[in-house]
Every structure is written in C-alpha cells, then in structure tokens.
Chain A
Amino acid sequence: AQKVTQAQTEISVVEKEDVTLDCVYETRDTTYYLFWYKQPPSGELVFLIRRNSFDEQNEISGRYSWNFQKSTSSFNFTITASQVVDSAVYFCALSGSAAGNKLTFGGGTRVLVKP
C-alpha cells in the first residue's frame, strides 16, 4: 500500500521568510513518482513538480526548491522568500510505476503568508 504523510497541517510565516514543507512516503514499488501540487483558495490544483524515484538530484525552480532523500523516504519542499501569493494548501503525492496508476495524496499543509 502507498502512503504519504505531511506532518505539518498548517504553517504561518511572515512575508520574505523561508518555509519548508515536509513529506514522507511509503511504497513497495521500486519505481515511483513523487509530486507536489498547490491548491490556492480558488480550489484548482496546480502542478509544481514531478520527480521519479531514480532521480535524487535536488531541484530549484525560482523560489521553489525540492530535496529528495530516498534513504529517508522524504521529498521536502522549500519556498524561499515567501510571498502572500504563496498562501495555499500544498499537497505531496505519490504514484506507482504502472501506467495509469492512481495518485495518493498526503493530507496537505496549509501555508499562510502574512504581509
């Protein structure tokens, strides 16, 4: 069975602070994909990143960065110099290797960036 745990339910920061969102996963698949999605108050899900299990390189995209540690089954997400527009719920998710395999979501972390 697959499981994704986001231990932080809510994080509140002041603008320009950095914020790191934790994600720990469980899977028996040897090949799998990890994702982060952003859900702003309007409700739609915005794709942020996909990482496959064989690629442990960290990634940076603008103010966003991701740290994939296969040894600890973690895929953490950091927002640098947070902005009010970053306020949203962020979901970490896991998908097995089979085509069409379902996506298992973590419980989500609500980020509130105060001006």
Chain B
Amino acid sequence: GAVVSQHPSWVICKSGTSVKIECRSLDFQATTMFWYRQFPKQSLMLMATSNEGSKATYEQGVEKDKFLINHASLTLSTLTVTSAHPEDSSFYICSAREQFGNSPLHFGNGTRLTVT
C-alpha cells in the first residue's frame, strides 16, 4: 500500500534554532500534502496545505513565516519551524493523497519536536 515517510521521528532542539521536517511519498506522487499539528491528548489540527510547485495555503492563525513549507517535487514536502520556541513543542504529522483517484489520505509516522 501507499507509504508516507516522515523524518525525523523525533527531534530536540534549543530555543531559537530552526528545525526541518521532511515528508516523502515513497511509492506514489502527491500534488498535495497536508501538515497537521497535535498537542498532547488533543486532536489533529490542520496547519497548512502544501501544493507542489506553488505556495502553501495556511490555516487561520498559523504563522506562515514561522512554519515554512516547501513542496518542491511530487514526492517531497518539507516543514521548517523557524526560531523555535518551547511552545512549538508538539507532534507534527504530514499526510498525502495519491495524485489520481479518490484514495484516502496516507499519514506519516509523525515527528515529535521538543524545544528546550
């Protein structure tokens, strides 16, 4: 079945540094990828929709200058958390849908970010 690989699975960084998270569709092409954020014991909240070859669409309240999204190819989207702060500590999950057809979203295994 379709696989989405997310890397790294966990990262600890110091406040003020930037962290890049990669999301790859391994066996299918994805024109659209989605980035979600999940705080402990809470639901997944959509942060942005990543579109291949164009700018990402951010949900209301999500700072686009802080959460940089790049979707340079049909198999790779990256989320960069810039100037991270402790309140950015969270679980970030990407998902992708195959380019054609009405397939369900496939999710990566998530990245747990801890900012100290």
Contact = CB atoms under 8 A, between A and B. Distances in A.
Interface of A: 33, 35, 37, 42-45, 47, 50, 52, 91, 95, 100, 102-108, 110
A106 B104 CA distance: 17
Contacts, number: 49
A107 B104 contact: no
Given A35-B104, A50-B104, A103 B110 contact: no
Nearest to A44: B109
A95 B45 CA distance: 14
Interface size class of B (residues with CB under 8 A): 20 to 34
A47 B45 CA distance: 17
Chain A residues touching B, majority SS:
strand
A105 B43 contact: yes
A56 to B, nearest CB: 17
A100 B31 contact: yes
A44 B110 contact: yes
A52 B41 CA distance: 28
B91 interface: yes
